[in-house]
């Protein structure tokens, strides 16, 4: 019987959504920060929540993390209502805020080891430091780290408990392009290992590179959820065919390319075929926000 119960529990963990939200509402005075929001994030998925400042992203995520109470709606995170999340539940989630804190007089290894003691089944601190690419800095005091290295340390502290679900709040703000791409690889490794990730970001390229699905929120409402390639119908939007001597907008780009190839008797000089970028679609969806 115990074996059957354990098997059923494992099956439930595999099949249930990591995050399930129905009719979520939160107001501050007369302002609706979140207005009847529905959202599902599947286990093992990287989900990016996009929206302008003041759209309701932070309030939504803080409710999911258990840091803020909701007015109405049903919320389940790893099968638990965050408002009733106990220590056992918190052992299962990881949170990387925009800044975890300053530990100037401690080394990288000391900080990660210290945080590992908070958790019952923490990962080996040395392995965590290696996983985020800070092995060479393990003995360095944190005040000597670059901005990108400090962000890697933030992630190390967020994953030292081996979380099933990781919240990342604008993880690469202030990064230069090279550091941002290095950090993306860390996120990909976490995702490939099965960690569910909810990511908020202002970088549309970041969402397109990392997310399985994206959701766009504005004025507290979730406007659309889709894959980056399909959001806002960008895969079927009017294409622009450009070449050295001109350009043409068309719904049938293949026909235009075939016609140009015939006209040029083969290779078309400087040929490109483009559809709206994720940023184009996103900016259209949020309007003047």
Count of CB atoms within 10 A of residue 100's CB?
A: 18
Strand partners, 39: 21
pLDDT tens for the chain, 289 residues long, are: 434 444 444 444 445 799 999 999 999 988 999 999 999 999 999 999 999 999 999 999 999 999 999 999 999 999 999 999 999 999 999 998 776 567 888 999 999 999 999 998 899 999 999 988 899 999 999 999 988 888 889 889 999 999 999 999 888 877 788 888 888 988 998 899 999 999 999 899 999 999 999 999 999 999 999 999 999 988 888 899 999 989 999 989 999 999 999 999 999 999 999 889 999 999 999 986 5
The 10 Å CB-count burial string (b at 16+, else e) for 240-261 is bbbbeeeeeeeeebeebbeebe
Q: Report the top-level CATH class of 2-226.
A: alpha beta
Q: What order of strands is seen across the sheet that includes strand 196-200?
A: 93-96, 165-169, 196-200, 46-50, 213-218, 221-226
**How many angstroms separate the CA atoms of 21 and 73, rounded?**
7
- For residue 159, give the H/E element and its range: helix 147-159
Dihedral sign, Cα of residue 86, residue 26, residue 38, residue 287: negative
Output the CA–CA distances (angstroms, integers) from residue 110 to 65, 113, 129, in the order listed: 26, 5, 11
The 10 Å CB-count burial string (b at 16+, else e) for 157-183 is bbbbbebbbbbbbbbbeebeeebbebb
Is the pTM higher than 0.75? The answer reads: yes
Q: Which of 217, 222, 182 is nearest to 202 (CA)?
A: 217
**How many angstroms separate the CA atoms of 189 and 211, rounded?**
13
List own/partner pairs for 39-42 with CB under 8 A and 24 or more apart: 39/215, 39/222, 39/225, 41/17, 41/196, 41/198, 42/17, 42/18, 42/196
**How many angstroms separate the CA atoms of 205 and 211, rounded?**
10
Domain ranges of the chain: 2-226, 233-286
């Amino acid at each position: 019987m115990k074996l059957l119960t354990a098997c059923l529990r494992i099956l439930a963990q595999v099949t249930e959504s990591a995050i399930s939200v129905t009719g979520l509402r939160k107001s501050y005075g007369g302002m609706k920060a979140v207005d009847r929001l529905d959202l599902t994030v599947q286990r093992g998925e990287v989900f990016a929540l996009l929206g302008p400042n003041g759209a309701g992203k932070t309030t939504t995520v803080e409710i999911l993390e258990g840091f803020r109470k909701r007015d109405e709606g049903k919320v389940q995170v790893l099968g638990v209502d965050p408002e009733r999340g106990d220590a056992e539940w918190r052992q299962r989630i990881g949170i990387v805020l925009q800044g975890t804190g300053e530990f100037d007089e401690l080394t990288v290894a000391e900080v990660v080891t210290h945080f590992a003691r908070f958790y019952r089944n923490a990962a080996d601190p040395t392995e965590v430091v290696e996983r985020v690419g800070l092995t060479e800095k393990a003995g360095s005091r944190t005040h000597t780290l670059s901005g990108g290295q400090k962000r890697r340390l933030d992630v190390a502290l967020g994953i030292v408990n081996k979380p099933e679900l990781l919240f990342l709040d604008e993880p690469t703000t202030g990064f230069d392009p090279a550091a941002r791409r290095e950090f993306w690889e860390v996120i990909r490794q976490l995702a490939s290992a099965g960690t569910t990730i909810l990511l908020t970001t202002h970088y549309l390229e970041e969402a397109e590179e990392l997310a399985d699905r994206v959701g766009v929120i504005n004025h507290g409402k979730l406007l659309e959820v889709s894959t980056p390639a399909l959001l806002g119908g960008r895969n079927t939007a009017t294409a622009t065919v450009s070449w050295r001597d001109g350009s043409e907008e068309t719904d049938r780009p293949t026909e235009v390319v075939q016609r140009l190839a015939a006209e040029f008797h083969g290779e078309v000089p400087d040929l490109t075929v483009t559809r709206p970028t994720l940023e184009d679609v996103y900016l259209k969806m949020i309007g003047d926000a």
